[in-house]
Amino acid sequence: MLTNRLVRTSTGKLAALDLGDQWVGIALSDSTRTLAKPFKTVPFADHSSAIAALIAQQEPAAIIIGYPKTMRGTESEQTKKILALHAELEARFSETQFILWDERLSSKRAQTASPARTKEEKLKSHAIAAAFILDSYLGFLKMQQFLSE
């Protein structure tokens, strides 16, 4: 299902989403697509308006969506939810490119990088997970650039 994995434009910052049932972590890259950093976490109920604001204010060239396959590479109920959300976002924000990207272990990496002890830290962990997803995607882009040289 991970098709159209390359960004259509070679310039501009990228964003990433870690879509959960209750929270959505958002991360942004810099305009050179070198660094991924946590941006914010919003309630899932507000995801559509938060994405609209993200597109209007940050103007990302594309938005990377964490694609939660199981460790065996199969689809789970959460995977199916993300596929439906992906289709919904593509329909609503048709000018923006949305790319599904394997997110396995991103939440675990976020917990390891910044163990959450308070509710505020737990909320921030979703944006950190989105930054790990985006960082992985940026690494993929760099490898593709290297291989094409």
Domain range list for the chain: 14-148
Is the per-residue pLDDT at 10 higher than 50?
Answer: yes
Query: How large is the average pLDDT for residues 65-70?
Result: 84
Summarised one tens digit per residue, pLDDT across range 89-100 is 999 999 999 999
Q: Are 1 and 19 in contact (CB under 8 A)?
A: no
Summarised one tens digit per residue, pLDDT across range 22-64 is 999 999 999 999 999 999 999 999 999 999 999 999 999 999 9
Amino acid in the structure at residue 43: P
- Compute CA distances 69 → 1, 18, 23, whole Å: 10, 13, 18
Class of the 14-148 domain?
alpha beta
Nearest to 99 by CA among 66, 50, 132, 71: 66
